[in-house]
Structure 1
């Protein structure tokens, strides 16, 4: 497997951490749907997650499937390791 730069792993770890926060906030909001502060946090983290993923994809290629990520002109799917491979 091709050696990846350290920032690949750092940025992927940050994306995974933010996604974890979003899952936890989703579960919390399922039982506390009127918590305005939690909704605000959710929206802030969702916006931040999109920014992180957009930046990651600009450097390393597509991150998400099913139309959630655009492809590049080389159809780069499968050229980088999948998250479970690192």
Structure 2
């Protein structure tokens, strides 16, 4: 993601950021499955790396703004612990 894209993430509404993260996770899963069969496909590896970087940046921005995406210690929690108050995936 470019600096301009990163800046726009900060202004993105919570639900939009979550949907973008979900889309990137889905795309990465699909590319991963493809690479299981075709591990020497250079274009697919490059695409995987680009999307992975974008997802990591977006997840970091989301967690800094709204709190943890996962409840098992991937990102430090703010006080008070408010994991149960965040929207569930099916509530989006």
State the TM bucket, normalised to the shorter chain.
0.7 to 0.9
Unaligned runs of 5+ in 2: 1-11
For normalisation by structure 1, the TM-score amounts to: 0.82
**Using CA pairs below 8 Å that are at least 6 residues apart, which structure has the higher relative contact order?**
2
Are residue 65 (structure 1) and residue 74 (structure 2) matched?
Answer: no
Q: What is the aligned counterpart of 1:16 among 22, 35, 50?
A: 22
Q: What is the aligned counterpart of 1:39 among 18, 38, 45?
A: 45
- Between the aligned partners of 1:11 and 1:45, the Cα distance in structure 2 is 15
State the secondary structure of the residue aligned to 1:72.
coil
- Between the aligned partners of 2:56 and 2:90, the Cα distance in structure 1 is 21
Give the length in aligned residue pairs: 81
For normalisation by structure 2, the TM-score amounts to: 0.78
Moved beyond 4 Å, runs of 4+ = none
State the secondary structure of the residue aligned to 1:78.
helix
Unaligned runs of 5+ in 1: 1-5
- 1:30 alignment counterpart: 36
- 1:79 alignment counterpart: 85
- Between the aligned partners of 2:35 and 2:25, the Cα distance in structure 1 is 15
